[in-house]
Amino acid sequence: MNWDDRSIQQRAIERLIGEHGPRALAKMNPEQLQERLKGALSLALSEQNGALQAEQLQRIHGELMGLGPLEPLLADDKVGDILVNGPEAIWYEREGRLYRSAQRFDNEAHLLRIIDRLVSRGGRRIDESSPMADSRLPDGSRVNAVVRPAAVDGPQLSIRRFIGGPRLLADWVQAGCMTTEAADILGDLVRQRANLIISGGTGAGKTSLLNALSACIDEGERILTLEDAAELRLSQPHVVRLEARPPNLEGKGELTMRMLLRNALRMRPDRLILGEVRGDEVIELLAALNTGHRGSMGTVHANSAADALVRLASMAAIALGTSHPEMLDSQIRSAVDVVLHLERSDDGKRRLRSIHRLQSDLPEAGMGAKMQCLWPKPDDRSQPLRRSPAAGVPRRSVPDDA
């Protein structure tokens, strides 16, 4: 932005804030903001005896009402996460890899102004007394901001974007994320109303695969989705979306996943889809899966299929106040039919690593021994073992041309 733009912008900002205040501006609808902005810019420009060009208006509008130097990244539908480590370090993810942007904020105050704008839109506040806050963009992207004193080196901003990814199982095959055989197995499992848990680490593609699996559900079924932040994009005509909500500034109005799940069971769902199982809602989920809500799905952060079951048992044990998660073994094996595990490879590509079926009729032998691997088969040469340079542990990889 050139100095003429900055001068016009600064005068417009001072005029807008002086007349309306930052919080009132954040609550205005887009039409009101546009009208106020044009008026303030016209007055600021008249003081310089200049003519406002369309490109200049768009650029200044992005600074005043948009997200400034982040706007070009947000306009790129191939950019995933956007990570801001202070005013001079903007990073972004594209196709699984992180790159440093040439864009910069003017200074820390500029970054703080953008953060406050983001947080205010979600009805939240961020300052020294409350230095961490979550919010969301209109497109559903999740926003997390941390400022001083919690952020020792200055303001930090993370924008987690859901850019879709492969929408159908066939797209996963085309992208080399799974084999045709694996896609056929998954499609059959969904149609047979198996209860599925998708496990994997952050950014492994759990939500994207959940979307792809959901596309296999019959259009005549009533589906209820429950998420901390609404990201699922189901194409069926009979979908009810429920979203959790944190408490407001007064500590009221919280809607937890457990509360949503309890209410969802009263709404006659044919299937339940949980964006992520991470807390005490696991109790209601296991009860629902054991009492007739077949064909439901959810995701959990875990390092392997076996670890996913341990995580479920641990969360349930904590919720029930017991120190013996193994006591919940039989209930989990009765509720969950299949665990799918995803990994993000060193090249940034998301891949399906395994499909395991739980066997509830085996004697007590530890959770891992009660899982039958449906895919890949032990003799499947299309799944060559490779060694992770970081951990030195053998891993199976799906060929890029699968």
Q: Is the pLDDT of residue 307 over 80?
A: yes
Model confidence at 387, pLDDT cuts 50, 70, 90, reads very low
pLDDT at residue 56, as a whole number: 62
Residues 121 and 218 in one domain: no
Residues 55 and 177 in one domain: no
Residue 13 falls inside a structural domain: yes
Residues 251 and 384 in one domain: yes
Residues 73 and 60 in one domain: no
Distance separating alpha carbons of residues 170 and 183, to the nearest angstrom: 7
In three-state secondary structure terms, 301 is strand
Q: Is the pLDDT of residue 260 over 50?
A: yes
Residues 47 and 76 in one domain: no
In three-state secondary structure terms, 93 is strand
Residue 75 falls inside a structural domain: yes
- The mean pLDDT of the chain is 83
Query: pLDDT digits over 188-208, tens only?
Result: 999 999 999 999 998 899 999
Q: Is the pLDDT of residue 354 over 50?
A: yes
Residues 269 and 188 in one domain: yes
Question: Quick count: other Cβ atoms within 10 Å of Cβ 301?
Answer: 16
Give the residue from 129, 163, 197 where a domain finishes. 163
Q: Which domain holds residue 356?
A: 169-396
- Domain of 117, CATH number, reads 3.30.450.370
Summarize the confidence of residues 16-28 as an average pLDDT: 77
Helices (H), 271-325: 281-289, 305-320
Residues 276 and 392 in one domain: yes
Residues 115 and 238 in one domain: no
- Domain of 290, CATH number, reads 3.40.50.300
**Cis? peptide before 30, omega within 30° of 0:** no
Residue 359, both tokens:
């066997």
Residues 201 and 325 in one domain: yes
Q: What is the pTM of this model?
A: 0.75
Residue 237, both tokens:
């005509």
Give the residue from 108, 132, 163 where a domain finishes. 163
Count of structural domains within the chain: 3
Question: Quick count: other Cβ atoms within 10 Å of Cβ 251?
Answer: 8
Residues 47 and 81 in one domain: no
